[in-house]
Structure 1
Amino acid sequence: MERLFVCYPKCTTCQKAERWLKEHGISAEVRNIKEQNPSQEELTQWYRTSGLPLRKFFNTSGIAYREQELSKKLPDMSEEQQLALLSTDGMLVKRPILTDGKTVLVGFREKEWEEALLK
């Protein structure tokens, strides 16, 4: 599977991550998360593959997250309900996401990306 880079082009963190990929000669299909939100199936697969807690997939600093008061609601929601909610709005999803099917990186932390992609 080719790498998939799911991002929001106006997001400065996504821009930094995309620049980093180019600087390191790493190619990936770019997908705008606002125009093509990840499906519940994709999110479920990425969540399970990543080994990360589900809350790491939420853009907790985003306006949509705050407006819906999700910090109060998520603890009472099942994993399936949370994944369904994430699939309704790309702005709720932490970005960027980079995956090749075996590895899933959520958010851009340069050291983490170096360890995962430049070994």
Structure 2
Amino acid sequence: MNNPKIEPILNTVVTKIIGSSKVEAIKIKNVNTGEERIINVDGIFIEIESQPPVELLKKIGLELDENGYIAVKPDVSTNLPGVFAAGDVAGRPHKVRFEQIVVAVAEGAIAANSAYHYILKVKKI
């Protein structure tokens, strides 16, 4: 990240969000050292993973895109029949990445709908 106003804090979990009507500070804990500190903030953005954890999926033949994310079609299906990927592990055909919970939830809904229709089709065979 090349923005001087943004400080990535790695290997850390948020243990408390502080504020009454808005976020004013967060308490964080380093998972490696156990060190805790409070940081004054105006808002927070929590990223679950910085790299998709797909090594096992590669071993079973799941196709990845050029950035190491699971290659998906618009219905979030993959190259393996009956396997769907959504959220931070899924690549975007349009090359834009929005690693936010709202995107993951929306893609989860698309995956659920696609899986439902896939199962209906398989049951008819």
Structure having greater relative contact order (Cα 8 Å, sep ≥ 6): 1
Please identify the structure whose Cα radius of gyration is greater. 2
| TM-score higher than 0.5 | no
Identify the structure with the greater helix proportion: 1
> Which TM-score applies when normalising by structure 2?
0.21
